[in-house]
Structure 1
Amino acid sequence: MAMKTIPHVLVVAGSDSSGGAGIVRDIETLAAFGVKASVAITAVTVQTHQGVQHVDPVSPERVAEQMRAALSANPIAAIKIGMLATAATIEAVAGVLSEHPEIPVVLDPVLASTSGRTLLTPDAIGALRRLFCACTLVTPNLPELSLLTDILGSPVDQARSLIDAGAKAVLVKGGHGSGADAIDILVQAGDAEQSFVSPRLDVSMRGTGCMLASAIAASLAFGDDLEVAISTAKAFVHSKLTEI
């Protein structure tokens, strides 16, 4: 009997010594979906659940080498990107992605920690926007979306501006919003917006952005289309929040 092939997802992200976010949260999520993880560490952080104390970026060359090693060692079915730290690292990651345009990529644009510590150098915002063109989906929360765009208007208007600049699809996460429901909105070029709704819970958990993006990547690795992957991932995150 032939063995069932288990998908691999390459996670490109920073470490979190507390285990609450970053690559630890990514690997936990992929394991819950029955997906194997390969990793490329972009930065080593010293942090607790209260805040980030120190960040040491890994050299861009070493990040690219880790990615290429993972891609040569395993049948990578999707890539999830989190913390990138510097413009040089973003450019290095973009170079590797250009060599594998067939692999779906989910980018969680990590700009700051939950405690407010900056995790991307200010000069790297432009490079991060350019990276969007190489990604299947970008998943900013509302504060990140405001920092990534230079227009006034609704979150959908801001997401459309990223689409106009070359992004393929943007999922605006509504966790920082208000109201009885947490509403995430998918914006794609040429398509009407699509909403994904779940009841808002009065709980908090670090790393939910990592969790959502990794869950989407896991679903894409299994061959699900984007809308199904987002719906599955949102339900997964909601279930985890109900366990708190």
Structure 2
Amino acid sequence: MNPKPHVLVVAGSDSSGGAGIVRDIETLAAFGVKASVAITAVTVQTHKGVEHIDAVAPDRVAQQMRAALSANPIAAIKIGMLATAETIAAVAQVLADHPGIPVVLDPVLVSTSGRALLSLNATDILRDLFRMCTLVTPNLPELSVLAASPVSTSSASAADQARSLLQSGAKAVLVKGGHADGVDAIDLLIQQGQADQPFASPRLSVTMRGTGCMLASAIAARLAFGDPLAAAIAQAKAFVHGKLRET
């Protein structure tokens, strides 16, 4: 019997359990994947907002990652909240030593309630991290910040913004369409030299915190099993849609 694959989650904690590492671990378990963790920040949260953030020392984040990588056969890495530019630099150093592992980066910039989860001076170095990632998964507001342009109001402008991230070194960008309008929620995969690939599901009139964490972790889980990127995204999106229907 083949052992279950391991995914290393590099992200912040959420005391409410609605997002962050708790949501990541739940998702990985649903896919039959074991989780290792490197906690980047301890947050005090309710479902209404973020009350306090304590960033973990960057060296300690890197030590957690290296310990997990030495202890377990890590088949994929999922990155969420990074909090500071110094932590991003520390994470990049570890990734540089493990170039063969697929990495899914959910660029967490702001909480659902509007609290900043990444230092204002860290956006540029976050873009530098893209070149080490298999996939980056911004929503439309995050894409706007990363592309330094207004929030997109069409799929064409969102694709153009995503292509600007490819020019920054990203290998692939999945633009999440949850903040857009329309009957369907359409996520768009943008890759260099390939046709844009949409992933659609019926838009539901429900809300749930942590869906970005869930999607990125589900993609990482399927990549850990060896799925091609598009297949991993399709399965992950179907999983999130199913969870939304359960709420």
Count of residues in correspondence between the two structures: 242
Q: Helix, strand or coil: the match of 2:160?
A: helix
**Aligned twin of 1:135:** 133
**Runs of 4 or more consecutive aligned structure 1 residues displaced over 3 Å after TM superposition:** none
State the shift of 1:151 in Å: 4.2
State the shift of 1:4 in Å: 2.0
CA distance in 2, matches of 1:199, 1:91: 39
State the shift of 1:164 in Å: 1.2
What pairs with 1:88-167 in structure 2 (closer than 5 Å)? Answer: 88-151=86-149, 154-167=157-170
CA distance in 1, matches of 2:8, 2:45: 23
TM norm structure 2 = 0.97
**Aligned twin of 1:228:** 231
Q: Helix, strand or coil: the match of 2:198?
A: strand
Structure 1 residue 205 and structure 2 residue 208: aligned? yes
**Aligned twin of 1:54:** 52
TM norm structure 1 = 0.98
**Aligned twin of 1:70:** 68
Match of 1:182 among 158, 172, 185: 185
Q: Structure 1 vs Structure 2: percent identity of aligned residues?
A: 76
Q: Helix, strand or coil: the match of 2:178?
A: coil
TM-superposition CA deviations, 1:148-201 (whole Å, max 9, x none):
012467110000000011100000000000000000000001111000000000
Q: What is the alpha-carbon root mean square deviation over aligned residues?
A: 0.7
CA distance in 1, matches of 2:23, 2:210: 6
CA distance in 2, matches of 1:88, 1:223: 32
State the shift of 1:70 in Å: 0.1
State the shift of 1:145 in Å: 0.2
Q: Helix, strand or coil: the match of 1:120?
A: coil
TM-superposition CA deviations, 1:52-71 (whole Å, max 9, x none):
00000000000000000000
What pairs with 1:210-221 in structure 2 (closer than 5 Å)? Answer: 210-221=213-224
Stretches of structure 1 lacking an aligned partner (at least 5 in a row):
none
CA distance in 1, matches of 2:233, 2:176: 11
The AA in structure 1 aligned to 2:112 is: T
CA distance in 2, matches of 1:165, 1:129: 7
